[in-house]
Amino acid sequence: MSRRFPKFTVWRGIFAAIILSGAYATYLRIFYGLGGTTNLSDRFPWGLWIAFDILCGVGLAAGGFTLVATVHIFRIERYQPVLRPAILTAFLGYMLVVVALLFDLGRPDRLWHPLVMWNPHSVMFEVAWCVTLYTTVLFLEFLPVVFEKFGWHKPLTWIHGISVPLMIAGVLLSTLHQSSLGSLFLIVPEKMYPLWYSPTLPAMFFLSAIGVGLAMTIFESWHSSRAFGRALELPLLASMGRVLAVLMSVYLWLRFLDLARRGVLGLLARNRTETWLFVLEIALLAVPTVLLFQKSVRMRPGALYACAVMVVFGFIANRLNVGVTALEAGSGTHYLPKWSEVAVTLSIVAIGFAIFRVIAQNFPIFEPQRVVVAAPEMRVPERNHVEVG
Amino acid sequence: MLKAILYDSTLCIGCKACEGACAERWGFPYNDQIASEERISAHKLTVVETHGERFSRRLCMHCAEPACASVCPVGALQKTALGPVVYDPDKCMGCRYCMQACAFQVPSYEWDQRLPKMRKCDMCCERQARGEPTACTAVCPVGATQCGERDALLAEANHRIAAKPNEYYGKIYGLHEAGGTSVLYISAVPFEQIGLNTNVPQGPLPALTWRVLELVPDVVSTGSVLLGGIWWITNRRAEVAKAEGKAK
């Protein structure tokens, strides 16, 4: 399999280096605590592990619920071919978020506490419940793939029986916690830089999560078509690109409307780090939005892929800005992640890619499905194959 | 009745006796080096800061509606009826949301421990329950720190300001900050000059998140009916299309 890549040994080397540094950082985390592995302080208690691993991790996995809603609830069935990869990405994403939490929590042995010690006034409590339940939903949504692989028909019928309530629960749980990750920051109005603090944070987090979910689906379809030498569903991905462009333009319009309503647009005239990081974030989101409105861009696999990558990076910039940049201003201190924080984060991403690859190679993720996930009576969607040179 | 602490910066002589008494009460080490640290930390829950010729004590503000207690996912922080905001380390899972949410940057973390706890002043809740003054109040040689009922202390603060209007800045810090706190400050100068954060919202902070959280039942009920309805329509449409296809 791997012989196909001329650069594979380089990638394997990078992968090994990341995993080794991550393993050493894990050892340090266990024996020397958060103080020994992070640059966090009393004034800056949340860092890269929250801003990237949790905020970005959950957001980048949003393709799962977006496509489940599209294909099974709204029945736009032509998106069927990208549904399973999206569910797999989401399932892995959430599992890795839990792994990241084990690093970030001061007492990872008490990860289960919110499930028995309730505080319904806490956004974090709501997020904890939603993430737990939604990871279970994703596991159940992924199970048919395993059952198909081994030809277990009985459990397959059983899981189809509960698929509709399961899908609806999944979409609702995602709606709640994707927006709640934004609500987490509503309680610190005086600490956050006004370019990012807004009462609309929950809605903005939700909208951008849907956008990045679509971008990630384009991203992984492109990569898997190369890695597994399979056809790229270009017309399908191009139409997703158009939806993405519409969605992101609504998002950007609302962002600026909100800034204008709060009267903070004037802050953009200040020559501060915050201004430049804000400009970077908006540019990474606005440029692909404009480009994706052009049909010629959408129909070129490379250009479409580049736009999706830009949206993903713009999204990451947004979450890092909310989680780090905006809070740094009001904290009276500086924060730059320690090498071990970066090593753990990179390892988690690398492991995510590796597991995705192994599962995609061994389970019916991209193959035409023998049994359709949720509705057995559904007709097999037409597939448009475009070979990529 | 809510217990509270009144700190009068004009009376404080910066002797740091409160720091020592606090360390003793918690069983923390205290020496010259620790005395010179001017920042609250996991081993120093109150600090006397020097601002030129003036002093300012920092400790947990024990908000009437504490953000820390509202954000704690496991309810490890609680506002007691007596006034102190108390912490249960056996519940805490170390998410540090309390530290992020506190407008006064009070909670501190044992960063270097393998099994860390959050640390903050608990207003000597067990002494308060017995009707005794807090350790810092009991030891203060000049009465710069006093404890008692919040209403009585507010009246006392107003009385001092009214009696010597030239010696006091005419406001009480903690009256409205974050919706009102159980630690009150009076000072000769505006509070930002003695290191207090005057940028704190004047209303209770938990309302900011509750406004969104209270919508959760609505989202779940409306959302499930809406999504279920859409599914029913699209499913029916597919069934009809299939039946018509067969009929032909």
Of B105, B111, B206, nearest to A40 by CB-CB distance is B111
Helix or strand (DSSP H, E) at B149: strand B145-149
Give the distance from residue A31's alpha carbon to the nearest chain B alpha carbon, in angstroms.
7
What's the rounded Cα separation, in Å, for the pair B15 and B48? 8
Of A75, A168, A176, nearest to B238 by CB-CB distance is A75
Spell out which residues of chain B touch residue A114, defining contact as CB-CB under 8 Å: 73-74, 93
CB within 8 Å of chain A, chain B residues 55-74: 67, 70-74
Residue of B227, B232, B236, B246 to mutate for A, most A C-beta atoms under 10 A: B227
Give the distance from residue A322's alpha carbon to the nearest chain B alpha carbon, in angstroms.
13
pLDDT exceeds cutoff 50 at A385: no
DSSP structure class, residue B24: H
Of A69, A110, A121, nearest to B213 by CB-CB distance is A121
Of B116, B216, B228, nearest to A106 by CB-CB distance is B116
CB within 8 Å of chain B, chain A residues 35-54: 35-36, 40-43, 45-46
CB A222 within 8 A of CB A305: yes
Which tens digits make up the pLDDT trace of A365-376? Answer: 876 544 344 444
Spell out which residues of chain B touch residue A324, defining contact as CB-CB under 8 Å: none
- Give the pLDDT score at A160: 85
Give A336 or A376, the one with higher predicted confidence: A336
CB B163 within 8 A of CB B8: no
Residue of B77, B90, B105, B224 to mutate for A, most A C-beta atoms under 10 A: B105
Give the distance from residue B243's alpha carbon to the nearest chain A alpha carbon, in angstroms.
11
- For residues A228-248, give the mean pLDDT: 88
- Angle at Cα A267 formed by Cα A262 and Cα A270, nearest 5°? 180
- For residues A162-170, give the mean pLDDT: 91
Which tens digits make up the pLDDT trace of B25-82? Answer: 999 999 999 999 999 999 999 999 999 999 999 999 999 999 999 999 999 999 999 9
CA B73 to mean position of chain CA atoms: 16
What's the rounded Cα separation, in Å, for the pair A76 and B231? 11
Cβ–Cβ contact B213 with A under 8 A: yes
The strand pair at B183-186 and B3-8 is best described as parallel
- Give the pLDDT score at B89: 95
Give the distance from residue B204's alpha carbon to the nearest chain A alpha carbon, in angstroms.
10
Question: Are A168 and B228 an interchain contact pair (Cβ–Cβ within 8 Å)?
Answer: yes
Of B73, B91, B227, nearest to A73 by CB-CB distance is B227
CB A143 within 8 A of CB A155: yes
Burial of B11 (0-12, 13-18, 19+ CB in 10 A): middle
Write down the pTM of the prediction: 0.90
Which tens digits make up the pLDDT trace of A105-118? Answer: 999 999 999 999 99
pLDDT exceeds cutoff 50 at B176: yes
Spell out which residues of chain B touch residue A186, defining contact as CB-CB under 8 Å: 208-209, 211-212
pLDDT exceeds cutoff 50 at A1: no
CB within 8 Å of chain B, chain A residues 83-142: 104-108, 110-111, 113-114, 117-128
Cβ–Cβ contact A382 with B under 8 A: no
- Give the pLDDT score at A234: 87
ipTM associated with this complex: 0.91
| Nearest Cα residue to B84 out of B160, B172, B5 | B5
pLDDT tier, A170 (very low <50, low <70, confident <90, very high otherwise): very high
pLDDT exceeds cutoff 70 at B140: yes
Question: Are A125 and B73 an interchain contact pair (Cβ–Cβ within 8 Å)?
Answer: yes
Distances (CA, A) of A265 to A64, A192, A261, B4: 35, 15, 9, 42
CB within 8 Å of chain A, chain B residues 159-198: 197
CB A371 within 8 A of CB A148: yes
The set of residues, in sequence order, having a beta carbon less than 8 Å from that of A63 and lying 6+ positions away, is A86, A89, A90, A212, A213, A214, A216, A217
Count CB-CB contacts under 10 A for residue A113.
Answer: 23
- Give the pLDDT score at A7: 55
Burial of B40 (0-12, 13-18, 19+ CB in 10 A): buried
Helix or strand (DSSP H, E) at B159: helix B150-163
If DSSP codes are grouped into helix, strand and coil, which group holds residue B146? strand
Taking CB atoms and an 8 Å cut-off, how many pairs form between chains A and B? 181
Spell out which residues of chain B touch residue A134, defining contact as CB-CB under 8 Å: none
The strand pair at B145-149 and B3-8 is best described as antiparallel
- Give the pLDDT score at B49: 95
pLDDT exceeds cutoff 90 at A308: yes
Give the distance from residue A166's alpha carbon to the nearest chain B alpha carbon, in angstroms.
11
Which tens digits make up the pLDDT trace of A57-77? Answer: 999 999 999 999 999 999 988
- For residues A201-229, give the mean pLDDT: 90
Walk me through the domains of chain A, giving residue ranges and CATH numbers: 15-362 (1.20.1630.10)
pLDDT tier, A384 (very low <50, low <70, confident <90, very high otherwise): very low
What's the rounded Cα separation, in Å, for the pair A139 and B217? 25
Which tens digits make up the pLDDT trace of B212-222? Answer: 999 999 999 99
Please give the mean pLDDT across all residues of chain B: 94
- Give the pLDDT score at A383: 43
Of A34, A175, A183, nearest to B209 by CB-CB distance is A183
Residue of A37, A113, A379 to mutate for B, most B C-beta atoms under 10 A: A113
Spell out which residues of chain A touch residue B199, defining contact as CB-CB under 8 Å: 190
pLDDT tier, A223 (very low <50, low <70, confident <90, very high otherwise): confident
- For residues B6-24, give the mean pLDDT: 95
Spell out which residues of chain B touch residue A172, defining contact as CB-CB under 8 Å: 219-220, 223-224, 227
Spell out which residues of chain B touch residue A106, defining contact as CB-CB under 8 Å: 92-96, 109, 115-117
pLDDT exceeds cutoff 90 at A124: yes
CB A174 within 8 A of CB A62: yes
Please give the mean pLDDT across all residues of chain A: 89
CB A304 within 8 A of CB A237: yes
What's the rounded Cα separation, in Å, for the pair B155 and B159? 6
Percent of chain B with pLDDT over 90: 94
Spell out which residues of chain B touch residue A184, defining contact as CB-CB under 8 Å: 97
CB B64 within 8 A of CB B203: no
- For residues A20-27, give the mean pLDDT: 96
Give the distance from residue A265's alpha carbon to the nearest chain B alpha carbon, in angstroms.
20
- For residues A349-365, give the mean pLDDT: 90
What's the rounded Cα separation, in Å, for the pair A296 and A197? 37
Alpha helical stretches, state H, chain A: 8-37, 48, 57-60, 63-68, 83-104, 113-116, 123-150, 153-161, 163-183, 201-227, 234-261, 273-292, 295-298, 301-320, 326-331, 339-362
If DSSP codes are grouped into helix, strand and coil, which group holds residue B108? strand
- Helix A339-362 and helix A201-227: axis angle, to 10°? 50
Spell out which residues of chain B touch residue A32, defining contact as CB-CB under 8 Å: 112, 114
Cβ–Cβ contact B92 with A under 8 A: yes
